[in-house]
DNA sequence: GCCAACGTTGGC
DNA sequence: GCCAACGTTGGC
């Protein structure tokens, strides 16, 4: 079982949205490095839900990967902001996963707290200028993060 | 709202 | 293939 961290702007989709829906297709990722990580995910993997562009930014909960190698439906929708005219049904370019709600942390683990306890090598999100929205998290780092929760 | 950091695009 | 220009991300 692997750990991941996935970013979303709460204005767009928050941990509470996921709590309400219970599961969702993690759509809209249009960065190849992030997509490659999405392709590597396995059923049962756990992911930290990170609120970016939030006050404060930080990890707000957990989710579980329940289905992998799902074609992102928005790539085919011409009305979507994530529409990719170069992607075809025969040869889709963007795969993602379906995630299930696991928990909301009692208190956010703020970026500030993460920076106090981890280095940029531990967790990419701590590194200045890191924009990757899907990030692998080493097991020992995940355990450290989990200890920061109440 | 600012701006640094990063990714992508496209001319050459 | 290089790289300048541009667009986006995301913390502050």
Per-residue model confidence as pLDDT tens digits over A79-127 = 888 988 888 888 889 999 999 999 999 999 999 999 999 988 889 888 8
Per-residue model confidence as pLDDT tens digits over A35-61 = 999 999 999 999 999 999 999 999 999
Query: Strand C nucleotides below 7 A of a protein CB?
Result: 8-12
Is strand B less than 7 A from the beta carbon of A85? no
pLDDT for residue A150: 67
Angstrom distance (rounded) from CA A96 to CA A32: 11
pTM: 0.93
pLDDT for residue A96: 96
Distances A41 to A25, A104, A117 between C-alpha atoms, Å: 14, 21, 26
Per-residue model confidence as pLDDT tens digits over A60-75 = 999 999 999 999 999 9
pLDDT for residue A85: 83
- Cβ neighbours for A32, distance < 8 A, ≥ 6 positions apart: none
Q: Which nucleotide is closest to the Cα of A131 by its C1'?
A: C9
Is strand B less than 7 A from the beta carbon of A150? no
Query: Strand B nucleotides below 7 A of a protein CB?
Result: 4-8
């Amino acid at each position: 079982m692997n750990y991941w961290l996935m970013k979303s702007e709460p204005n767009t989709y928050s941990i509470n949205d996921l709590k309400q829906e219970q599961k969702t297709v993690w759509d809209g990722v249009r960065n190849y490095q992030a997509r490659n990580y999405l392709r590597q995910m396995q059923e049962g993997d756990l992911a930290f839900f990170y609120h970016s562009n939030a006050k404060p930014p930080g990890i707000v909960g957990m989710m579980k990967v329940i289905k992998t190698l799902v074609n992102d439906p928005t790539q085919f929708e011409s009305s979507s902001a994530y529409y990719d005219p170069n992607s075809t049904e025969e040869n889709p370019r963007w795969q993602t996963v379906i995630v299930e709600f696991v928990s909301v942390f009692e208190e956010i683990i703020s970026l500030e707290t993460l920076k106090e306890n981890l280095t940029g090598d531990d967790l990419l999100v701590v590194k200045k200028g890191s924009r990757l929205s899907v990030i692998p998290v080493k097991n020992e780092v995940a355990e450290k993060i989990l200890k920061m929760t109440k």
